Structure 1
């Protein structure tokens, strides 16, 4: 039986830049997008059918952001069930 030859250690990928690890730019851009959609849906009569969708998008975004903030606070507190790696 032939044994496999020893292989070199796998190279580690480079660390991501800090800007790509920051969630706030993404949260802010998406929230502003939904806010603009809500304003347009209520200001432009032709977009009246988009009102419920725009309001729901803004609401789901606010709900998701609140869950993120709760999880991050729990991770910083050191809660046992909290996600790891949130800054």
Structure 2
């Protein structure tokens, strides 16, 4: 039994979107967060969003490379047939 072929794009996209929503939701409360020493929540959400964008590009690039390798492999097998 083979494992599922999961590329991770959807997972990273959802996580990135959630960090973006968290940043926007916390933005109006910056003053209150800063007063209570929790302004780092806002910056953590922004960092998560930014890193998620990098992760999204990484996953998309990995999908493209895997698809190209699969195409090359299947193309090579077809040319070997008599």
Tell me whether the two structures share a fold, i.e. TM-score over 0.5. yes
Residue in structure 2 matched with residue 57 of structure 1 by the alignment: 48
* Mapped partners of 2:66, 2:3: distance in 1: 22
**What TM-score, normalized by structure 2, do the two folds share?**
0.58
Q: Which has the larger radius of gyration?
A: 1
* Cα RMSD, aligned residues only: 2.7
**What TM-score, normalized by structure 1, do the two folds share?**
0.55
Structure 1 unaligned regions, length at least 5: 1-12, 80-87
> 4+ runs of 1 displaced by more than 6 Å?
none
By relative contact order (CA 8 Å, sep 6+), the higher-ranking structure is 2
Structure 2 unaligned regions, length at least 5: 71-82
Q: Answer 1 or 2: which has greater helix percent.
A: 2
* Mapped partners of 1:36, 1:59: distance in 2: 13
* Mapped partners of 2:69, 2:13: distance in 1: 26
* Mapped partners of 1:66, 1:24: distance in 2: 9
Aligned in 2, Cα 1:64/1:41: closer, same or farther, shift over 3 Å?
same
User: What is the count of residue pairs matched by the alignment?
Assistant: 64
For the pair 1:68 / 2:59, whether they are aligned, the reply is yes
* Mapped partners of 1:70, 1:25: distance in 2: 14
For the pair 1:34 / 2:25, whether they are aligned, the reply is no
